Amino acid sequence: MIRVRVGLEEAATRLASHLAEELAPRGIMPVIKGGTVILDDSSSATTLSIEECAEMVRRAAVKAGIRYRSLLIKGEELILVGGELRPREREEAPKLFTCPHCSFITPYEEEYWVHLKTHYVGF
């Protein structure tokens, strides 16, 4: 059993979901307890080595948008030092105006109306 100390609970949750992607095929489901992710390999066919785990945590941290100063290995524990979340990228896509007559797309409403009028010239 390996513990990954992340500190921030939200960061631990995100890290766990990315770790799950890698660990699911091996039958290991990360468990989150406070700011710590627990990887229990007792029911897995293969045991996890701490070095292997450290590699996975590094990859998962990048995907999860977690910045940290260093990753320490202490026995059966991995400690993410100075872990923090990068500000989330805007999840909502900006509103886009799509012309019903052609493939014109713009995020600016004004530009959209100006464009739309061009289809009606001559009517």
Give the binding site for Zn ion (CB under 5 A). Answer: 99, 101-102, 104
Pick 73 or 105: Cβ nearer Zn ion: 105
Considering the complex, state which of residue 59 and residue 115 has its C-beta at the smaller distance from Zn ion: 115
* Residue 35 Cβ vs Zn ion, minimum distance, rounded to whole Å: 52
Which pair of structure tokens corresponds to residue 5? 């100390």
Supply the minimum distance, in Å, between the C-beta of residue 114 and Zn ion: 11
Please tell me whether residue 20 adopts helix, strand or coil conformation.
Answer: helix
Q: Of the two residues 85 and 102, which places its CB atom closer to Zn ion in the complex?
A: 102
Q: What span, in angstroms and rounded, lies between the C-alpha atoms of 91 and 73?
A: 34
Q: Amino acid identity, residue 52?
A: E
What's the closest the beta carbon of residue 101 comes to Zn ion, in angstroms? 4
34 is written with which tokens?
């406070």
Euclidean distance between CA atoms 66 and 111, whole angstroms? 38
